[in-house]
Amino acid sequence: METFAEFQRRRNSEFYSSKGGRIYSSFRTFAHSLKFAEANAVEFAARVRSTPDSEAGRRANKRKGKLRIYEIGVGDGSFALNFLKALRRINSEVEERTTYILWDFSEKGVELAAGKLEGFNFETVVAPAWDWKKMRGATCVKCNELLDDLPTRMLVRRGLRANEVVREGGKFLEVETQLDGEIALFMEGMPEGYWVPAPEMGLECILGWKGKLAVGGWIDVFDYGFADAEGMRMLPRDVWNAAIWREFSKQVTVDVNFAFLKRCVGGRVEPQKDYVERALGKDLWEVDVGGKLDYYSYEEVKKNEKKLEKEGYDVAVLLAGMEKSDYLHMEIRR
């Protein structure tokens, strides 16, 4: 018998070992989206211009390399490249002061990403996400669809009792467990019988990164998940329990419980699309075309109407905003 977290850890270790260098073709994220990268660059440039709160801080902030961005889980380096290109275009002075740190547990992944950043200031760290002692003076920490991959406890409230989801003989079962602290209080407000992810390792990472932030620094978490219990109650219990985790190419991922993270570390949670629209100052629509996630403007939606219909979209429904997205953005400040 193994807990859901142990099951997820085992399956993902097997996934990473079996895929080797082909692993990055298996991910479907916004890492290749130029608009997503540009929104991050716009927001970063605006934030660092307003961060220093003293003349000494302003002088120190002008030194090349003083601004440090850590990307935890770098994929194939596409987001880093697109971000830095956009930052150079938006504010070359800020880009010159920025050192971009590629952080991943995979040495091959770091090497692949680093090969794309010639001409930019960057460093590399080969380490797991929870080895934050290697981090220093972080202006910003970014992670894009990382937390959903980390081993996650799965809990269920049954009256006043809490159960943990375990796997035995190829089936999922519930066994009674003891909870304390914030997770116990959090579970009291959860609907009965629903599987509730408890991202304790994700929380541990965020707390570690938060302790390494420079003055004025912040963390950006981008992932799919839910922000409150109301999002759970919108679905029947059995539908929710079947959808809260998924297996894609034998990789096991779990929707991120942003409600629990916010309770523990504060910060704010919003739809990722709202973040991108606010930064770019325009209405956008989330699309999945050719297996790649992106944001289209109204003009792009109309221009690519036939392509979108081939992907299964009803363009009228898409433009009406009737399709809900589970991609969220969480910001945590120092």
Nearest to 258 by CA among 216, 317, 202: 202
**Structural domain that includes position 320:** 282-325
301-331 confidence digits (pLDDT tens): 999 999 999 999 999 999 998 878 899 999 9
33 belongs to a structural domain: yes
299 belongs to a structural domain: yes
Do residue 56 and residue 136 come from a single domain?
Answer: yes
- Give the pLDDT band of residue 26 (cuts 50, 70, 90): low
149-179 confidence digits (pLDDT tens): 999 999 999 999 999 999 999 999 999 999 9
Do residue 105 and residue 61 come from a single domain?
Answer: yes
Going from the C-alpha of 25 to that of each of 76, 292, 311, 323, 330, the distances in angstroms are: 9, 11, 19, 26, 26
Instruction: Report the sign of the C-alpha dihedral through residues 42, 45, 50, 53, in that order.
Output: positive
pLDDT of residue 19 exceeding 60, the answer is no
Instruction: Report the sign of the C-alpha dihedral through residues 68, 70, 76, 80, in that order.
Output: negative
Lowest-confidence pick of 22-31, 56-65, 110-119, 220-229: 56-65
- Give the pLDDT band of residue 50 (cuts 50, 70, 90): low
pLDDT of residue 21 exceeding 80, the answer is no
Q: Is 87 helix (H, G, I), strand (E, B) or coil?
A: helix
pTM: 0.92
304 belongs to a structural domain: yes
Give me the number of domains the chain comprises: 2
Q: Are 49 and 95 in contact (CB under 8 A)?
A: no
212 belongs to a structural domain: yes
Do residue 231 and residue 292 come from a single domain?
Answer: no
Compute the mean pLDDT over every residue in the chain, rounded to the nearest whole number.
Answer: 92
Q: How much is the average pLDDT of 135-140?
A: 96
Which of 56-70, 84-98, 316-330 is predicted most confidently?
84-98
**Structure token digits, residue 273:** 């699309």
Do residue 34 and residue 65 come from a single domain?
Answer: yes
Q: Are 145 and 134 in contact (CB under 8 A)?
A: no
170 belongs to a structural domain: no
157 CB neighbour count, 10 Å cutoff? 19
Beta bridge partners of 254: 245
Q: Is 219 helix (H, G, I), strand (E, B) or coil?
A: strand
pLDDT of residue 74 exceeding 50, the answer is yes
- Total residue length of the chain: 334
209 belongs to a structural domain: yes
Nearest to 35 by CA among 301, 333, 216, 238: 301
Q: What is the 3-state secondary structure (H, E, C) of 117-154?
A: CCCCCEEEEECCCCCHHHCCCEEEEEEECCHHHCCCEE
Q: What's the pLDDT score for residue 48?
A: 92
Do residue 129 and residue 220 come from a single domain?
Answer: yes
Q: Are 102 and 124 in contact (CB under 8 A)?
A: yes
Do residue 228 and residue 301 come from a single domain?
Answer: no
- Give the pLDDT band of residue 250 (cuts 50, 70, 90): confident
Do residue 252 and residue 291 come from a single domain?
Answer: no
Q: Are 298 and 280 in contact (CB under 8 A)?
A: no
Do residue 143 and residue 255 come from a single domain?
Answer: yes
pLDDT-above-90 percentage for the chain: 84
pLDDT of residue 56 exceeding 50, the answer is no
49 belongs to a structural domain: yes
Do residue 237 and residue 312 come from a single domain?
Answer: no
CATH of the domain at 89: 3.40.50.150
Do residue 262 and residue 303 come from a single domain?
Answer: no
Do residue 80 and residue 146 come from a single domain?
Answer: yes
Q: What is the 3-state secondary structure (H, E, C) of 50-94?
A: HCCCCHHHHHHHCCCCCEEEEEECCCCCHHHHHHHHHHHHHCHHH
